[in-house]
Structure 1
């Protein structure tokens, strides 16, 4: 019934010494792989369906960057930046005005920042004003500047109209040349 011969346990295979794969960013489709859209994994509004463009840490760029796509900055940019979604990595630095629907800062921004959602992670350094509908600042993040909460498109509240006095009750205001004193005491 029982066999006393045991097969030797498989010897562990040595793992290659390659760096671990970098996990995809949250709410971002990884390059070449389509994720099914679910309510739990829905990306912020305005996110493009294309992959994420990356400026790697060994690159420097001078000039204006604009477009509707998504950008991760791990290098350095001197100039204004206007994209759909922006992630400034820990080694990334932007010197200029930044505008995007979603902005996540792990690195450095020196300039005005404007977006619907702005998130400063604990490693962030931001020197400039931030205008955002939603702002998140983690403990440890550095922020120097003013913060203005942007307004959402909402119907304007109607203010009550002031009650005006009848025209017959108003006395005309005498016109005097500049520099003269008007005596307003009743005579």
Structure 2
């Protein structure tokens, strides 16, 4: 009824993954070397968070001046100046003294200055001394934050005050007439406003 094959079954659901270019290739078993691939090998896409490469300022570097660009930046060193990038990660050894403006900001280190972004995350090792303007803010237990938190978009102008309404007129209370001072009496001048 059933016909059993004497050859070992090949796992067809496990795709073969090509080795990384800088890693030595693992030795193949004789069965793997002889087995023809059922499907042509497709290049494996490397996942990236935003499709851009991450630039890094390493822990032993100090930078004085403003940093700007549309790319991603990880700061493990120190920056004295404003930072305006697409995505910013401040590592545990990283420190920024200046304003920060990015779509995504993740702080594990220290920032002294205003932070502005769409999404701001303060990890438990973060130290932020400055105002934060964000659409989404996440603060882990243990993170230090000193400043004001403003929820809203980065580019939005401050909300305009409503059109001024006419203030109600205060009730006028008639005052008693003041006596006329004599020429010999000292004069008193009342400087209070009514």
Which TM-score tier does this pair reach, normalised by the shorter chain? 0.5 to 0.7
In the other structure, the counterpart of 2:7 is 7
Aligned equivalents of 1:102, 1:181: Cα separation in 2: 64
Residue 22 of structure 1 and its aligned partner are, at CA, apart by 8.2
Query: What does residue 160 of structure 1 align with?
Result: 165
- Who wins on radius of gyration, i.e. which is larger? 2
Q: Is the Cα–Cα contact under 8 Å of residues 84 and 101 in structure 2 kept in the other structure? A: yes
Aligned residues: 149
CA distance in 1, matches of 2:7, 2:90: 51
Gaps in structure 1 of 5+ consecutive residues: 31-50, 170-179
Are residue 120 (structure 1) and residue 125 (structure 2) matched?
no
* Alignment RMSD (CA, Å): 4.2
Structure 2 length-normalised TM: 0.55
Work out the CA distance in 1 between the residues paired with 2:125 and 2:136: 13
Query: What runs of 5+ residues in structure 2 fail to find an aligned partner?
Result: 24-44, 175-186
Alignment of 1:118-157 (within 5 A): 118-149=119-150, 152-153=156-157, 154-157=159-162
Range with bigger deviation, 140-149 or 4-13: 4-13
Q: Does 1:182 align with 2:189?
A: yes
For the Cα contact (< 8 Å) 1:52–1:69, is it kept in 2?
no
- What CA distance in whole angstroms lies between the structure 1 residues aligned with 2:55 and 2:138? 24
Q: Deviations over 1:54-108 (max 9, x none)?
A: 1154552311233241332142123113213232254451231132142422421
Inter-partner Cα distance in structure 1 for 2:164 and 2:142: 40
CA contact (8 A) 2:108 2:123 kept: no
Question: CA, structure 1 residues 104+143, in 2 after alignment: closer, same or farther (shift >3 Å)?
Answer: same
Q: What TM-score results when the alignment is normalised by the length of structure 1?
A: 0.57
Mapped partners of 2:92, 2:77: distance in 1: 8
Cα separation, 2, equivalents of 1:145 and 1:128: 5
For 2:46 and 2:160, how far apart are their aligned partners in 1? Answer: 45
Contact 1:90–1:123, Cα closer than 8 Å, also in 2:
no
- SS of the residue aligned with 2:163? coil
Instruction: Provide the rounded CA distance (Å) in 2 between the counterparts of 1:66 and 1:157.
Output: 38
